[in-house]
Amino acid sequence: MTHYHTLIVGAGYAGYSLAKELRKLDPERSICLISSDSADYYSKPLLSNGFSKQKSASDLVQKTAAQMAAELHIEVSPYCSAEQINPELHQVLTNKGLIQYQQLVLATGASPLRLSLPAATDGLVWSVNDLADYQNFLQQSQNKQKITVLGAGLVGIEYANDLAAAGFQVSVIALEQQPLAQLLPPALGELLQQQLTALGVEFYWGSSIKDAQLAQQQLSLQLTDGRNLTTELILSAVGLKPKLQLAMHAGINCGKGIKVDQTLATSAADIYALGDCAEICGYNLMYIQPISLSARALALTLTGRITPVQFPVMPVIVKSPALAVVSWPAAKEQQGEWVYEGQGMDWMARFQSPSGQLLGFALTGKMVAQRLRLAKEIPALIA
């Protein structure tokens, strides 16, 4: 059995960011990072614009696991799956043996939601959530022309834009009535749709797949509203769910994520969580900036300086070259109305309370340059 001061489960951006911050603060601490995959370091956001740039999975690797281990002076164990946590004994059982820890950090990430689809689609529906997924989908797309994207949220729209730019005939099927329905008011959603349509993207709103038939490599889809389309491959981008099984089986409190307080501590002693798997004071924020802020705060806490994480307003930047988009949506329970300013492709939409207080905003085109100014007008998410 091996022993480490800090054991990190997960080699995504959250896990490596924490390891980097810890090493800055404590050059001598023993740190082990385990991962169920290759543990190579890459930027996950780059997955959704790799096709148009003709990038392979290996092209997206910035540093291998071995290089990261050498650079940070940590132990990195690829293809090492955490199977069980014993909080009382401070041990994690893995497929490679037992590991003893003083501090355990869960950075297990999230996995794609799976839809129930007709049998004819078996083997033709893929999600892209990591490097291996990207490589698989890249291989599946070879010699294909028609790709259908399920979902019109952030990931779905980014992939639709990228795949269309790469030369594919792209269709988008979504239950919503516009792109980025959670981020944009209808008027700006329509503007984004116009720009993507100009790239060749077709949209099928307010519907889902009811039936499918496969013949000669062509998949004929019948939608719930009676419309029909053909495709050769389906990319499912309908959302992610935090990976909670490891924490739940250890008796750690979970909700929509692994529940942590403002110091990122779970309900179990000496166990913390950050990244896509964590529910921080009620928020599950699957973006880069909150992960970076969490890693810095948690590194301080783990090295003896208890530091509550603070989240300012963090505008969401959409990687949609067809139309630059930045948004900070108001909370669902907040009442107000949209006020617009701009022309052409350049719009500022402010969601204001009846008293005129700024609650949220959406920006397109050149107006995205206003994001930092507007963010300062809205109270911090977690102060």
CATH assignment of 114-236?
A: 3.50.50.60
pLDDT in tens, 180-233: 999 999 999 999 999 999 999 999 999 999 999 999 889 999 999 999 999 999
Question: Residue 87 in 3-state DSSP?
Answer: coil
DSSP 347-367: EEEEEE-TT--EEEEEEEGGG
Specify the CATH number for 2-111+241-302; select among 3.10.450.40, 3.50.50.60, 1.10.150.170, 3.20.20.70. 3.50.50.60
Q: Among the listed ranges 9-13, 268-272, 284-288, 359-363, which one has the minimum average pLDDT value?
A: 284-288
Residues of the chain with CATH 3.30.390.120: 324-375
pLDDT of 137 above 90: yes
Look up the pTM and report it.
Answer: 0.94
The residues with which 362 forms a beta bridge, in sequence order, are 327, 349
- CA-based nearest residue to 125, from 241, 19, 13, 208: 208
- 324-375: CATH topology is Enolase-like; domain 1 (3.30.390)
pLDDT in tens, 45-62: 899 989 898 899 999 999
